[in-house]
Amino acid sequence: MKHLQRMVPYLLPNILAFALLPIILSNTASAMMILLIGLPLIILISAFLYGTKIKKIDALFALAIGILFIPVVVVLMNNTAMPYVVVYAGIALLGNMLGALIKSKE
């Protein structure tokens, strides 16, 4: 439980972005910009900060990011966006690894 509590502040921006950004989609171009630039950037930054905080690689954080995006795909998008679940989890793992690596060098 303590592990999850430590993750919540870093998952919260992602949850808000997953919930709010797809709602403002007005056309295909804006949807692609959010899916390809907006959400990955938010995920990368929050995962990087989480990695610097815990100073180790945490695959559970990446898994949580992927799981949290599944309802967004099901409710707000269609199944063609399902591969982004894996991509976003990978971006979260990369950000976490970079943050942990940088912090461990200090």
Helix (H) or strand (E) holding 95: helix 83-105
* pLDDT value, residue 15: 93
Mean pLDDT taken over the chain: 91
| pLDDT tens by residue, 31-67 | 888 889 999 999 999 999 999 999 899 999 999 999 9
∠ Cα 69 91 63 (to 5°)? 50
Q: Give the pLDDT band of residue 26 (cuts 50, 70, 90).
A: confident
End-to-end CA distance of the chain: 29
pLDDT of residue 78: 82
Question: In which domain, by residue range, is 16 found?
Answer: 2-105
Q: Which two tokens stand for residue 68?
A: 């949290």
Residue 58 DSSP code: -
User: What's the pTM?
Assistant: 0.91
Tell me how many domains the chain contains. Answer: 1
CA–CA dist 21, 92 (Å, integer):
18
Q: What is the DSSP letter of 57?
A: -
Q: Do you know the residue count of the chain?
A: 106
Q: Residue 38 has what DSSP assignment?
A: I
